[in-house]
Structure 1
C-alpha cells in the first residue's frame, strides 16, 4: 500500500517535470527540506511554476501551469501528463493527470498536485535532492492527425548547478 502511494506520487511529479526542456530552476534548501520551482518547454508545450517540496516525511509535487503554444483553443478527448523523477538511477512517476472521454479545451491547464510520503533510499533514509538525477514531464494528447507525445526536461543537476 505504501509503495503504491509512493509510486502514484512519483508518477505525478515526474510527468510534469519531464516535458519541460527549457529549464528555469529556482532551488531553495533549508536543512533537510528542498523546494524546487521548475519551468521548461517543448516544441508544443510550456510549463511554469511546477513545484516540488521534499521533506524527510513528505513529498509534494505539482501546481504548475501547462500551456499549449500558438493556439487560442485546442479541444481533445485524450490528454495525459506524467512527471518522472530519476531517483537513485530508478525512473519513478511522481505525479500524473489524464483526461479521457468528453472533449476538453487544454490550451491552458493546471498540472494538479499530489502529496504523500517521501521515497526511501537503499540505506532506509529519506531521499534528498542529491538522490535525484533528473526530473522530466511527458505529455501525450490526441489531435486530428493522431496521437502525440512530447517530453520536457525540468531538472538536471549537472545543468542546474
Structure 2
C-alpha cells in the first residue's frame, strides 16, 4: 500500500538532509528535482530565505515521505513525474521544495521532500489542511497512473480515501 508521512521534527540539519536525499547509493541526479529552488543549491537557497527573514528556527524544514506500494512496476520517468506532482500538492504557498526519488532498493521505492519552513514571503510553515486532505489529493495523482492509492485506517476497518 502507498504511504504519505509527514515528519515535523527531523533531527538533521538542512545540509545533512540534503546529503541524505541526494546520496548516490539511493538515487541519481536525474531523480532529484526542485520546485521554486535550484536542486544543486537547495541548501544555500533555503538558508538564504531563512537569513533574509532572520529566522532562528529549531526545525528549518518539513520532511514528507511518500512510499509507493511495494509491487510498483513502472517506468522510472513515470515514478519521477508522480513524485513531482505530489510535491506540487504539498506546496500550499510560495515555498521552496526539494524532492528526491530513492529507487535503488526496488522493494522500497519512495520519495523524500524537504520543504523550507520559511516561505519566500517570510511566513512560517503551518499545515493548512488535514493529512486526510493531502492524501485525497495524492490519490487523485496515483489513480491517474493506475497506482495503488493510500489507505485510510479508521477503527478496525481500512479503506481507500476517496479521490
The verdict on a shared fold, with TM-score over 0.5 as the criterion, is no
Q: TM-score, normalised by structure 1?
A: 0.34
Higher percent of residues as strand: 1
Higher relative contact order (CA 8 A, sep 6+): 1
